[in-house]
Structure 1
């Protein structure tokens, strides 16, 4: 095959700037292998890039910070042709073309070989979402105690809930929509809450995983028990906390940390553990919709309107 279909972001703008085009299949070069994309999870960072909030990105660009698939043409003896792989971050869909395509040329160091029998739509829902959720819980040091997840019906929030349930944490998670409380309960959340209902733990949770981000981080510091930890690992409300005054705004003894999924790019061992837990039924991924490449613009509209509950997955 010499050509492929891809969703190209032609310029900054609304979902209509995502165009399906026929492109040459990328030619391999040293240190990079060609992956046949079998599935790609959609992420809000791609939405913000499309909107023009990623100054380093030059358009036109094939977006997509993650994908799963099979190695089509390898340049590494450790990644033979046909190997099932996942890739995430490392400037995918930003400095070079990403997963919104039938093929992607990716750096070998990003490719994580996985052994799995999961269907593509389930495997594609895991890399960015579950690596972020696991990494954020590790950053919190949350192995026992009470955990509050803000932004609980996001894909990462639901993944964190399933992991926390497996760890035996007592969990609460928030949603702005009362209609989504059942989704939180199904993910293993002990206390599904409408945002603003904090009276279940008078002393506060031991840990807060804040996936809303800039708009709620300071409020999370007030909510967590004195000496507890807040981890900001999402940016549903943006990247920047304006006028942050650490001494005035962080209670004495309370800890504020953050997690970025670029930290775990290429972490094959962590991803394989996650895949194994999903196959064993310990983790239950929540997939909102499975879409085709032609549906990318519609999927972005759904993300932008906050209609998705769980992960949007594209199968080329």
Structure 2
């Protein structure tokens, strides 16, 4: 996927969704900004799509103390290089970028152009449409990294429980696990999302009402799952440690319920022999993540993995996209196209 960009230096302004202060979705304002100028070590990327993430929602709400407003949010994007001083990044190269303080310490993906560190850019070979490609980087790198942290491998054995299954990462993890041949269960709090989980390859869909999940899990797996991927976060961490079989592994990846576990006592709360680990997608940014993301892209093109795009928004509708995300209406990935 390549594109002739022409002479981007002649383009002087761009549309961008600017978070002007902490608050509700209305603080995301569409503005006309100057197109950033290329400098050494950074490349100008013409953004073709950006996935939405709940971390951006929390930043918008004011829960990221290191972020100063106004700021163009967006911790990931895909697009084409419009200008660069790096000969390894010629104009028209398809790239993806995730994390690395993108959308936090410097402007991110909610714009038509972004000036990004070369170290974050992952050149890709693909024919996928932009909305599908935009749904992959942060979500699939996180899902794949989490399964790696759990020790789950292709053709392996074991039973995997995904908590927060209809999140974008949950759907991606289910898709990868199905490709691996792993027996999978996933939770949702909404009955209207069960079909989406089944379509993603989940073997057992469990409604989590906050009280009887253990009964449902033990009905299908009396000893409990071998692995738990917890995408809900701190509110369910201790319960996940109780659910996994003795000697199994829990991976904390999600932060849907916050970052801190109050009054956490590891010796009392981690059953003897059970393992607790975590994954953060900052571990697979830039050159470290490029081979993994290329593998994901190839699997999506081959039909092995499903991209699980729930809805695509225009940049002009970014406030509506955040409302949709904040209301937990999505079953899969939300994407914005400039």
Q: TM-score, normalised by structure 1?
A: 0.99
Within the alignment, does 1:61 sit opposite 2:58 as a pair? no
Match of 1:272 in 2: 294
2:246 aligns with one of 215, 226, 230: 226
Matches within 5 A, 1:46-125: 46-125=56-135
Question: How far off is 1:31 after superposition?
Answer: 0.1
Distance of 1:180 and 1:273 partners within structure 2: 28
Distance of 1:153 and 1:126 partners within structure 2: 15
1:189 aligns with one of 202, 221, 235: 202
Within the alignment, does 1:296 sit opposite 2:296 as a pair? no
Match of 1:24 in 2: 34
SS at match of 2:255: coil
Higher mean alpha-carbon deviation, 141-150 vs 202-211, is at 141-150
Distance of 1:243 and 1:226 partners within structure 2: 23
Within the alignment, does 1:154 sit opposite 2:167 as a pair? yes
Question: How far off is 1:142 after superposition?
Answer: 1.4
Distance of 1:155 and 1:268 partners within structure 2: 20
Within the alignment, does 1:170 sit opposite 2:192 as a pair? no
Distance of 2:46 and 2:307 partners within structure 1: 23
RMSD: 0.5
Question: How far off is 1:192 after superposition?
Answer: 1.0
Question: How far off is 1:308 after superposition?
Answer: 1.0
2:51 aligns with one of 21, 24, 41: 41
Match of 2:327 in 1: 305
Distance of 1:121 and 1:215 partners within structure 2: 32
Match of 2:257 in 1: 237
Question: How far off is 1:68 after superposition?
Answer: 0.1
SS at match of 1:58: coil
Question: How far off is 1:74 after superposition?
Answer: 1.1
Distance of 1:218 and 1:37 partners within structure 2: 40
Match of 2:8 in 1: none
SS at match of 1:251: coil
Within the alignment, does 1:248 sit opposite 2:268 as a pair? yes
SS at match of 1:156: helix
Question: How far off is 1:309 after superposition?
Answer: 1.1
1:193-251: CA deviation from partner (whole Å, max 9, x where unpaired): 11123221010000000000000010000000000000000101111000000000000
Distance of 2:39 and 2:148 partners within structure 1: 36
Higher mean alpha-carbon deviation, 60-69 vs 142-151, is at 142-151
Question: How far off is 1:253 after superposition?
Answer: 0.3
SS at match of 1:218: helix
Give the ranges of 4+ consecutive aligned residues of structure 1 lying more than 2 Å apart after TM superposition. none
SS at match of 1:133: helix
2:303 aligns with one of 254, 269, 281: 281
Aligned positions, number: 316
Question: How far off is 1:269 after superposition?
Answer: 0.3
